[in-house]
Amino acid sequence: MSETPKIELKGVAKAFGSNAVLRGVDLSVAKGESMVIIGGSGTGKSVTLKCILGLIRPDAGEIHVDGARVDRSSGRSRDAMLDKFGMLFQGGALFDSLTVWQNVAFRLLHGKRKLPNDEARAIAIEKLKRVGLKEKTADLFPAELSGGMQKRVGLARAIAAAPEIIFFDEPTTGLDPIMADVINDLIRELVTEIGATAMTITHDMSSVRKIADNVAMIHEGVVQWCGPIGEMENSGNAYVDQFIHGRADGPIEAVR
């Protein structure tokens, strides 16, 4: 008998007014797998992640996490579902009014565990060191950090409570190539270390090649192709070929 997928989407659809962003997304992510979703801007990658997290309610379809349907969950069952997740947001989404360590330890301080300040701070500093930041960063505010450092803090926050599933939304956007590579390495290491299931959305192909086990390409609101990273270069799918080689000619219109 095959193992229950960690995350499963069946026919998920979402429209904003007359703009149908998702038109029936089917996707399955196995436990411990690193799935990367690629696709152009505005093709619904972020909407897919937000539907899984319950930040956006899909119009149709089903979303299952560990076999349990979550797209209509609320209250405690939703809180229990969210406890499994960690997320690195594209812009970091660090809380401006809190120091770096309070950001990293937010879930430890306010979530189910409600650790004392000293203990939470110690864990936060340990996580900051794990992502390559010095202890003195802990008492700074997010506005005092560079873009790369903010990403690292976001990464430390995402892993602080050792989640079962981690989402990465455009983890290397806005970073220089060296810092982007450092972040990619960190993501790969941390996901392996924690044994988490990872789902990343990006259009940075070097990121894809570094962190993906499997790749799914979304275009026109559906998954056009899904397969192992090793098969991506020879997928035989015109959408994937055009996208990964960055060609203007092909089935994907350059101007959307």
Partner 1 sequence: MAITGFITDLLASIGRTVLGLCSTAGHLAIFTAQAVSHCLRPPFFLGEIARQFLKIGYFSLPVVGMTAVFTGAVLALQIYVGSARFNAESAVASIVAIGIVRELGPVLGGLMVAGRVSAAIAAEIGTMRVTEQIDALTTLSTNPFKYLVTPRLIAATVAMPILVAVADAIGIMGGFLVGVGRLGFNEGAYLNNTVDFLEFDDVFSGLVKAAVFGFIIALMGCYQGYNSGRGAQGVGRATTNAVVGASVLILAANYVLTELFFSA
The answer to whether 106 and 157 are in contact (CB under 8 A) is yes
Minimum Å gap between C-beta 75 and partner 1 is 10
Residues near partner 1 (CB under 8 A), total: 25
Quick check: 35 and 29 in contact, CB under 8 A? Answer: yes
101 touches partner 1 by CB under 8 A: no
Instruction: Give whichever of 175 and 240 is closer to partner 1, judged by the CB atom.
Output: 175
Q: Largest alpha-carbon pair distance within the chain?
A: 57
Quote the CA–CA distance of 236 and 171 in Å, as a whole number. 28
How far apart are alpha carbons 115 and 84 in whole angstroms? 18
Of 32-40, 104-112, 189-197, 219-227, which part binds partner 1 (CB under 8 A)?
104-112
Contact positions with partner 1 (CB under 8 A) in 54-83: 54-55, 79, 82-83
Residue 158 or 182: which CB sits closer to partner 1? 158
Residue 67 · residue 229 · CB < 8 Å: no
What mask of x and - would describe binding to partner 1 in positions 195 to 234, judged by CB under 8 A?
Answer: ----------------------------------------
- 145-152 long-range contacts, CB within 8 A, separation 24+: 145/100, 147/174, 147/175, 147/179, 148/175, 148/176, 148/179, 148/182, 148/183, 150/92, 150/94, 151/88, 151/92, 151/175, 151/179, 151/183, 152/128, 152/183, 152/186
Nearer to partner 1, 12 or 87 (CB): 87
Which stretch, 33-41, 105-113, 130-138, 213-221, contacts partner 1 (CB under 8 A)? 105-113
168 binds partner 1 (CB under 8 A): no
Give residues in contact with partner 1 (CB under 8 A): 50, 53-55, 79, 82-83, 85-87, 89-91, 93-97, 106-107, 110-112, 157, 167
